[in-house]
Amino acid sequence: MRKRKLVDIVTLVLIGIFISIGIFDHFSNNYILSVNFYLGCLCWAGVIFIKYRIGKGNSLVFWFLILLTSNILVCSAYIYSFGSVDYLYKNDGLIIASIGINPIFFLMLVIYSGLNYDIIRDFIYGSEKENFEKSKADIQFYYDKFNRYQAEELEAIYKMFNEYPIDAQIALKKIHKERDLAFIEF
């Protein structure tokens, strides 16, 4: 089992334990659950369904942890936030937790990000598959664009060869090879 998959499973199980404790506290100790808790439970079930039933959403657990860290979603009967333990607002019978940084889920997010640093890298730079597909599409775009030009026009383009993006250079080299143009050497 890959490390990333194992960390996702352990994280979702820990969140499930928090949800179980919250439901237990609701029924045994009469804790009132907020709308954020119900949304958190639905999102937790949705993350599990999308990730393991449909097989998509590599970074869903990461984004779910971000929502839990900000208390937009809550997975426990207790609502922790820096500076206080409980901010609940009651509005027409609905109880809504205030937004704040939950230290427990913040710690989980830091540990999760440390163990799955590739998620952060993929978020910033894109995954290898995404980058490959984008590069492939860009090369095809430049190939189609430059392939319409005549040899005289291509000669002027090849004079500025180094000023073009890498994908354009690859397309120009491909055209050069296919047409066997003699006015430039690589």
Is the model more confident about 4 or about 17?
Answer: 17
Q: Can you tell me the distance from the alpha carbon of 28 to that of 163, in angstroms, rounded to the nearest whole number? A: 70
The reply to whether 185 falls in a domain is no
Same domain, yes or no, for 163 and 113? Answer: no
Work out the pLDDT band at 74, boundaries 50, 70, 90. confident
Region 13-30: mean pLDDT is 85
pLDDT confidence of residue 115: 87
Same domain, yes or no, for 115 and 146? Answer: no
Detail the DSSP E strand segments found in 68-125: 88-91, 94-97
Looking at the structure of the chain, the number of domains it has is: 2
- pLDDT of 62 > 60? The answer is yes
For 63, the domain range is 3-126
Q: Can you tell me the distance from the alpha carbon of 139 to that of 170, in angstroms, rounded to the nearest whole number? A: 7
pLDDT confidence of residue 182: 66
Are 75 and 18 in contact by the 8 Å Cβ rule? The answer is yes
pLDDT confidence of residue 83: 58
Same domain, yes or no, for 90 and 144? Answer: no
Same domain, yes or no, for 44 and 11? Answer: yes
Region 145-153: mean pLDDT is 85
The reply to whether 184 falls in a domain is no
pLDDT confidence of residue 149: 86
- pLDDT of 43 > 60? The answer is yes
Work out the pLDDT band at 29, boundaries 50, 70, 90. confident
Question: Structure pTM?
Answer: 0.64
Are 87 and 81 in contact by the 8 Å Cβ rule? The answer is yes
CA torsion, points 39, 44, 46, 51, in degrees to nearest 10?
160
Same domain, yes or no, for 74 and 89? Answer: yes
pLDDT confidence of residue 86: 53
Q: Can you tell me the distance from the alpha carbon of 91 to that of 70, in angstroms, rounded to the nearest whole number? A: 20
